[in-house]
Amino acid sequence: MTTDHPLSPDELEAALRAMGAERYHILHPFHRKLHSGGLNRGQVQAWALNRYYYQCRIPAKDATLLARLPTTDLRRAWRSRLEDHDGVEGKIGGVERWLKLCEGVGLDRDYVASTEGLLPGTRFAVDAYVALVRDRSILEGIASSLTELFSPTIIAERVSGMLRHYDFVTEETLAYFTPRLTQAPKDSDFALAYVRENARTVEEQQAALRALRTKCDILWAQLDALHFAYVEPGLIPPGAFVPDDRK
Amino acid sequence: MTTDHPLSPDELEAALRAMGAERYHILHPFHRKLHSGGLNRGQVQAWALNRYYYQCRIPAKDATLLARLPTTDLRRAWRSRLEDHDGVEGKIGGVERWLKLCEGVGLDRDYVASTEGLLPGTRFAVDAYVALVRDRSILEGIASSLTELFSPTIIAERVSGMLRHYDFVTEETLAYFTPRLTQAPKDSDFALAYVRENARTVEEQQAALRALRTKCDILWAQLDALHFAYVEPGLIPPGAFVPDDRK
């Protein structure tokens, strides 16, 4: 991937997309099990409960980055993410919709929101995302969001597969995902244009690619932790959520 | 664990020790496999390589905390940890000794030091340790080091078990651990006295216990990631170290 001269914007975009093709968590065995009906209700609950922590830290991630953006235009563009996740007057946002998803699969809302039953691996991976946008360059913070380039595909697989295979999952339960199919492309269009425009030098382009790689690792590590604790070998760490059928 | 009135120093110490009895990674199946000869050379290499990242971030953790300590006496006491890990004139420290352990089990020193082959789960867990001593109270930072109360036992198991079971492991390879048997108790004596003295209110005592719990989680999550990638189910994440027998 390292070159002596900068890539053109199109070449850079191709390299970013290639990173996703290689490392996005759509390739993870836990995702394949989830959408193909290979999990039981307790395992789906574990996924929903752990993924909640990712959802509820996304506004912290976006606000951390927003605080560092230098212009009104950039901050206004980024602010729409906060609206998507925390809602606007009269309309709930993604965090609340994820809690409804958790309730829909039979979890207690307050228990989920307490994050008490979280896998430590989930917490560390998600916290690494907030740290990335705080500690690395703005370009890297924005580039790390580019996994949204790949999310419509994984959402489509997940929603259709889960509705087909799990009788405890309804369309209403999965309502979280519907707006994401338009929000994610809006966000990734903006972020991709920013990265194409602002990653000019070899160093900047490498940094942007590394940031996207780290983000892919963050998503991947969350599924590793789930798979390890709840699928194979199925070793639930002390204090983490125990599904009913494992009690 | 929650009480209305503060614990006595002895009761607090007992609660801290009980936390270790329940959550210290000596209970993790990966540790049991490591010391009982249940791993092959590639799996031991994966352990050494990943654990290197923990070792090499310990001075960053200690310097981060040292920077926040308010008195010369506290800083001088804490400084000895930097000497233990980074060495003093004419004497190498723990980080360098760990690199020798890695070479001893057949890894390339530069590859280990590059941390290129690290499991993302290792990186996120270890970084969470540095973040803890930066972001929480000094009391919590010091309490999080108290896993050293339990380390002489795990070191004894590990060294004797590894020497007995692995013909590719020599006493020289495990030389890292010898000074730790005296350093860890020296450090944990100091930290325990500090916590006994300074965790007076219910809130402070709960915070100290939570910090030790988080640290146990950090150690546990590292073994989860190793077990998942290299033992069962054996799914090595993209880009991570691949042992010769898995190539």
Q: What is the pLDDT of residue B3?
A: 64
Between CA B159 and CA B156 the distance in angstroms is 5
The closest alpha carbon to A54, from A242, A219, A231, belongs to A219
Chain B residues with CB under 8 Å of A232 CB are 232-233
Task: Indicate the pLDDT class of residue A86, thresholds 50, 70 and 90.
Answer: very high
Using left for φ > 0, alpha for ψ between -120 and 50, and beta otherwise, residue A90 falls in left
Backbone torsions φ then ψ of A29, nearest 5 degrees: -55, -30
pLDDT in tens, B67-100: 899 988 899 899 999 999 999 989 999 999 999 9
Report whether the peptide linkage leading into residue B9 is cis, meaning its omega lies within 30 degrees of zero. Answer: no
Is the Cβ pair B237, A228 closer than 8 Å? no
Q: What is the pLDDT of residue B41?
A: 97
pLDDT in tens, B128-146: 999 999 999 999 999 999 9
| Token digits of residue A222 | 């969350």
Chain A residues with CB under 8 Å of B227 CB are 228, 233, 235
Q: Which of B29, B121, B123 sits opposite A224 (nearest CB)?
A: B121
Where exactly are the structural domains of chain A?
Answer: 9-235
Task: Indicate the pLDDT class of residue A3, thresholds 50, 70 and 90.
Answer: low
Q: What is the pLDDT of residue A4?
A: 82
| Token digits of residue A71 | 């212009």
Chain A residues with CB under 8 Å of B128 CB are 123-124, 127-128
Is the Cβ pair A224, B217 closer than 8 Å? no
Q: What is the pLDDT of residue B71?
A: 87
What average pLDDT does range A158-181 have in this prediction?
92
Is the Cβ pair B23, A128 closer than 8 Å? no
What average pLDDT does range A122-141 have in this prediction?
97
pLDDT at B239 over 90: yes
Q: Is the dihedral of CA B237, B239, B244, B247 positive or negative?
A: positive
pLDDT at B214 over 70: yes
Strands annotated E in B83-171: none
Name the percent of chain B lying above pLDDT 90: 91
Homologous superfamily of the A9-235 domain (CATH):
Heme oxygenase-like (1.20.910.10)
CB B36 within 8 A of CB B83: no
Kindly report the nearest CA distance between residue B120 and chain A, in angstroms. 6
pLDDT at A106 over 90: yes
Return the number of CB contacts < 8 Å for A and B.
Answer: 102
Chain A residues with CB under 8 Å of B241 CB are none
Question: Partners of B91 in the beta sheet?
Answer: B88
Kindly report the nearest CA distance between residue A120 and chain B, in angstroms. 6
The closest alpha carbon to B26, from B228, B219, B233, B161, belongs to B219
The per-residue DSSP string of chain A comes to: ---SSPPPHHHHHHHHHHHHHHH-GGGSHHHHHHHTT-S-HHHHHHHHHHHHHHHHHHHHHHHHHHTT--SHHHHHHHHHHHHHHH-BTTB--HHHHHHHHHHHTT--HHHHHHTTT--HHHHHHHHHHHHHHHHS-HHHHHHHGGGGGTHHHHHHHHHHHHHHH-TT--TTGGGGHHHHHHHHHHHHHHHHHHHHHH--SHHHHHHHHHHHHHHHHHHHHHHHHHHHHHTSS--PPTTS---GGG-
The torsion angle over the Cα atoms of residues B181, B147, B111 and B166, rounded to 10 degrees, is 50
Chosen from B124, B126, B127 to mutate, greatest number of chain A CBs within 10 A: B124
Chosen from B1, B24, B228, B230 to mutate, greatest number of chain A CBs within 10 A: B228
Task: Indicate the pLDDT class of residue A247, thresholds 50, 70 and 90.
Answer: confident
Q: Is the dihedral of CA A89, A91, A96, A98 positive or negative?
A: negative
pLDDT in tens, A27-64: 999 999 999 999 999 999 999 999 999 999 999 999 99
pLDDT at A173 over 70: yes
The closest alpha carbon to A175, from A91, A89, A231, A61, belongs to A91
Chain B residues with CB under 8 Å of A218 CB are 120, 124
Kindly report the nearest CA distance between residue A175 and chain B, in angstroms. 30
pLDDT at A219 over 90: yes
| Token digits of residue B80 | 């000895």
**Chain A positions touching chain B (beta carbons under 8 Å):** 22-23, 27, 29, 119-121, 123-125, 127-128, 131, 213-214, 216-218, 220-221, 224-225, 227-229, 231-233, 235, 237-239
Q: What is the pLDDT of residue B2?
A: 58
Between CA A58 and CA A96 the distance in angstroms is 12
Task: Indicate the pLDDT class of residue A2, thresholds 50, 70 and 90.
Answer: low
In chain A, whose CA is at the least distance from the CA of B118?
Answer: A217
Task: Indicate the pLDDT class of residue B4, thresholds 50, 70 and 90.
Answer: confident
Helix (H) or strand (E) holding B15: helix B9-23
Is the Cβ pair A237, B221 closer than 8 Å? yes
pLDDT in tens, A93-105: 999 999 999 999 9
Q: What is the pLDDT of residue B32?
A: 95
pLDDT in tens, B105-134: 999 999 999 999 999 999 999 999 999 999
* pTM assigned to the model: 0.84
Q: In the CATH scheme, what is the code of domain B9-230?
A: 1.20.910.10
Is the Cβ pair B221, A22 closer than 8 Å? no
What average pLDDT does range B151-156 have in this prediction?
92
pLDDT at A84 over 70: yes
What average pLDDT does range A139-150 have in this prediction?
97
Q: Which of A120, A127, A231 sits opposite B220 (nearest CB)?
A: A120
Angle at Cα A48 formed by Cα A44 and Cα A53, nearest 5°? Answer: 150
Is the Cβ pair A29, B235 closer than 8 Å? yes
Can you say how many angstroms the Cα of residue B82 is from the centroid of all Cα atoms in its chain?
15
Q: What is the pLDDT of residue B247?
A: 87
Question: Partners of A91 in the beta sheet?
Answer: A88
pLDDT at B24 over 80: yes
CB A83 within 8 A of CB A153: no
Q: What is the pLDDT of residue A71?
A: 87
pLDDT at B223 over 70: yes
Between CA A197 and CA B24 the distance in angstroms is 49
The per-residue pLDDT of chain B, averaged, comes to 95
Of A71 and A26, which is predicted with more confidence?
A26
The closest alpha carbon to A157, from A31, A70, A66, belongs to A31
